[in-house]
Every structure is written in C-alpha cells, then in structure tokens.
A and B are shown apart, each in its own frame.
Chain A
Amino acid sequence: AQSVSQHNHHVILSEAASLELGCNYSYGGTVNLFWYVQYPGQHLQLLLKYFSGDPLVKGIKGFEAEFIKSKFSFNLRKPSVQWSDTAEYFCAVNLYGNNRLAFGKGNQVVVIP
C-alpha cells in the first residue's frame, strides 16, 4: 500500500540548533512532494514543494528539503531554528496529476528559547 513515513514524532530542540526531519514514501511512479506546517492554533500552511527539477528545494522561513529519488526520501532541514518554529510538520505526497494527498503522521517540534 502507498504510505508516507515520518519518524521521531516528538522533537525538542534549543534555539540555534539544526533541525532535520525525515520523510520516506512508498509510491510507484512520478510523485509530487510537500512539507506543510501547522503552527499552534493556525491552519496548515505550505512550507515548500517539489514537482520536478533541482532536487534541493528552498521554502519559506529558511527551510529547505532534498528529494532523493533512489531513497524515496524528502527530508526537511533548517540550519538554525527559532522559538517561532515550534509547530507540527507534515510531509505529504501525491502522484503527479492527482490531488489526493497522503500525509505522514507528523513531527511535533518544540523549540526551547
């Protein structure tokens, strides 16, 4: 079955630490990849997306993600986190041309000032 896996559901970091969240998917065919963020009390917002081209994608707020096709992975990174990055992060995948998004279980990230 098609699935999206995110590990280390709860992550606690200090400000200025680096963040890396893993995302692996099991899909055949061409995929589109997304990272969404849900800040406390707010709705899901798109952080970044990969459709095609350069596998290193830069998003908002200093986040970036790298698509490694051979590893079926799309890991999210930020070199130096801030307290305001406290949020839940979701990896999502769909097949090209299909709006049905499959989400991972999410990573709850807490940044301590």
Chain B
Amino acid sequence: KAGVTQTPRYLIKTRGQQVTLSCSPISGHRSVSWYQQTPGQGLQFLFEYFSETQRNKGNFPGRFSGRQFSNSRSEMNVSTLELGDSALYLCASSLGTGEGLNEQFFGPGTRLTVL
C-alpha cells in the first residue's frame, strides 16, 4: 500500500511569511505526528493528532500549529517565519491504537528554507 506522502517537497519563504505543509498518512492510519529535523537540534517532536484531536504536543512556540481532517490527512502551519525555522519537516503516521500505537512510518519530508 502507498506510504506517507508529504506536499510540497520543497518550499522557500521569507521571514515573516506563513506556510502550510500537508501530510497524507498510510490508509487506515489514524495518528499523524510531525517532527522537525535540523543539523543542530536533530529530530524534535512537534505534535501528534489522532482522530482530529491534538493528543501530544512538543516544546515549540505557538507559531507552530496543526490540524487533522476526518480522512486523517493533516496539515501543519508555521506563522511569522523565522530564519531558524529552516528545516526538514517530517510527518509520521501510525495506527494510533493498541501495540500499533507506537510504530510510526515516516514520509519523505518537506524541506523549508526561510530567507
């Protein structure tokens, strides 16, 4: 079956703008998590959505937000972009319940560059 897809793959924005990234999970998966990957900080958890509700949240400022739709697709939004937001943003999906709660499958990521 198809894997996790993310759009767009690459994005260039300027400081102060906002951006929306999209993630389509594996069919049947109800949990979507977002991570930020940078050379300095590594992989950091942003938030998780399950059944259209935010279930977990990492330590990122309120400029980072997300949502999940009834078909489990998820979007994350970053407002008032800063240079430090340049990163690879990864989406991961999982079943979200039972033992499968914890095995996450990652998408290819969206490379965001802020100028």
Contact = CB atoms under 8 A, between A and B. Distances in A.
Nearest to A90: B43
Given A32-B102, A43-B109, A96-B102, A103 B43 contact: yes
B107 interface: yes
Interface residues of A, number: 24
Contact of B103 (A42, A46, A103): A46
Interface string A65-99: 00000000000000000000000001010101111
Interface stretch (B12-20, B70-78, B93-101): B93-101
Contacts of A56: none
Interface string B80-115: 000000000010101010010111111111000000
Interface of A is mostly: loop
B63 interface: no
Contacts of A102: 45
B103 A45 contact: no
B62 interface: no
B103 A49 contact: yes
Nearest to A41: B108
B106 A101 contact: no
